[in-house]
A and B are shown apart, each in its own frame.
Chain A
Amino acid sequence: MSCEGYRDRLIDGLASGESSLDGDVAEHLRTCAECKRFYEAQMHLFGAIDAGVRTMVNEAVPASLLPGVRRLVGAAGVPGRSWGFAWGFAAVGVAAMAVIGVGLLRRSPENAGGVTAKVPAFTQGVGEAARGAPVQSQVTAAAPKFHTTKVKNVTPPKDGEARPEVLVLAEERAAFVRFVTDLPEERDVAVALTRPATDGKDEAVEIALLQIDELNVKPLESSNQ
């Protein structure tokens, strides 16, 4: 084999990270000073490449790296829920639009007229009253407000579990939910308040009799002194 062939094999061995030389290559290096010099130069070169790459990638990690990530993560919110939140907001938006739409429909003039028409709203003018001729007034009296109560979501629990249910005003729902869920430090209180009643199955609490060891009786001071 020519020197060129040995040199190719030397380079392949160094590139693959082999530390030992094949027998015939080692034998050639013992007899060829030129190839030995070439081999030593290539060893230096590959060593320098490895050292250079290590320098390149083993830079000291800045102390601010992990705190910076924590700060970004804190601002980002719950993992894997970014789209969930987006869809949640979209759903709430659609629901809000629907509620507003229904509300506007109910307050439309046709519907308002429908309400007043059903209400007996006749008054007598003074003149007509004097003539004894009852006439429908031109002024429509304000319809009395009937405070109707609408109850939503009164379906029983599907799993048949006895869960306590609380009726709250719609506008107070958010506050109630916050009270129940967003107070982890007061969770015991929330649980105690919302635990189902035990139907009188609690054991009676025994109260020890009052014991008086020493009784010191003094006469009352008279009021005329």
Chain B
Amino acid sequence: MRELVLIQPGRLLAGASERGNESSHADREFEERLAECGPLAFRVAYGVLRHAADAEDVAQEALLKAYRNFARLREPARFRGWLVRIAFRMALDRWRSVKRREKRETTGEQLEHGAAGPSVEELAASSEFQARLERAMEELPEKFRLVVLLAGIQGYTREEVSGMLGIPMGTVKSRLFFARKKLAEKLR
């Protein structure tokens, strides 16, 4: 027995064309977001991990997640905020697993808490100070840490951080204030 089926090629063509147009349009939009926000995702991840290869992995995974959810993230501000949060969260997860592994492998060498050097340049250049700063950052509550990292990224103002995270400007300022004060206490 041979079966015949009825096909409407015009409808097939129209459907395929619409799907193709929609898909290529979404791809173009995603490419724009990728170029704009890819470095941001990397920097947020690097701020947590301080390891370029790990940060790149995390940023790529976060961007792939963003791609999979692109249907509801097409608005640029929404996309950026979502990406920053997901990259931060994934980087923290990666950092915790790295720390657990390190804890198993090493004896947990303690860094000495010396006095700060005399100038900004010398202090920043000092790897000891940097290590202490990183340790102090790790101890900050997550919401404060994220604001400090974003505010530190070149080209992002406090207003932009506020828009990115969807929180009022006053909240950004108060979180920065609290975080900087805590950091100074730990590093003094």
Residues of A within 8 A of B (CB): 11-12, 14-17, 41-42, 44-59, 61-62, 64-66, 68-70, 72-73, 76, 78-80, 82, 147-154, 157, 163-170, 173, 176-177, 180-182, 184, 187, 190-191, 193-196
Of chain A, the residue at the smallest CB distance from B121 is A51
Mask of B125-157 contacts with A, CB within 8 angstroms, 1/0: 000011001100100000000001101111000
Q: Does the CB pair B68–A82 fall under 8 Å? A: yes
Q: Which of B5-34 contact A (CB under 8 A)?
A: 5-13, 15-16, 20, 23, 26-27, 30, 34
Interface size on B, residues (CB 8 A): 72
- Given contacts A64-B56, A150-B1, A169-B3, list 14 more A-B pairs with CB under 8 A: A17-B177, A47-B120, A48-B116, A49-B184, A56-B46, A56-B134, A57-B46, A57-B152, A61-B42, A150-B3, A150-B4, A167-B7, A182-B16, A190-B13
A166 in contact with B133 given A15-B180, A44-B116, A57-B152 (CB within 8 Å): no
Query: How would you classify the secondary structure of chain B's contact residues: helix, strand, loop or mixed?
Result: helix
A163 in contact with B124 given A49-B180, A49-B187, A56-B50 (CB within 8 Å): no
Q: Does the CB pair B60–A168 fall under 8 Å? A: no
Nearest chain A CB to B162 CB, angstrom units: 15
Q: Does the CB pair B6–A152 fall under 8 Å? A: yes
Cβ of B71 < 8 Å from any Cβ of A?
yes
Which of A45, A52, A58, A173 has the most CB atoms of chain B within a 10 A radius of its CB? A52
Q: Does the CB pair A170–B2 fall under 8 Å? A: yes
Q: Which of B150-180 contact A (CB under 8 A)?
A: 151-154, 173, 176-178, 180
* A153, B4: Cα distance in complex, Å: 9
Cβ of B69 < 8 Å from any Cβ of A?
yes
Residues of B within 8 A of A (CB): 1-13, 15-16, 20, 23, 26-27, 30, 34-35, 38-39, 42-44, 46-47, 50, 52, 55-56, 59-60, 63-64, 67-72, 116-121, 123-124, 129-130, 133-134, 137, 148-149, 151-154, 173, 176-178, 180-181, 183-184, 187-188
Q: Does the CB pair B123–A51 fall under 8 Å? A: yes
A163 in contact with B8 given A49-B184, A80-B69, A148-B1 (CB within 8 Å): yes
Contacts of B23 in A (CB 8 A): 78
Please pick, from A48, A80, A173, A180, the residue contacting B123 in the complex, using a CB distance under 8 A: A48
Q: Does the CB pair A79–B70 fall under 8 Å? A: yes
A69 in contact with B60 given A15-B177, A17-B176, A46-B180 (CB within 8 Å): yes
A65 in contact with B187 given A56-B137, A79-B71 (CB within 8 Å): no
* A114, B50: Cα distance in complex, Å: 77
Contacts of A193 in B (CB 8 A): 9
Q: Does the CB pair B6–A153 fall under 8 Å? A: yes
Nearest chain B CB to A213 CB, angstrom units: 47
Of chain A, the residue at the smallest CB distance from B8 is A163
Q: Does the CB pair A79–B46 fall under 8 Å? A: no
Which of B44, B121, B183 has the most CB atoms of chain A within a 10 A radius of its CB? B183
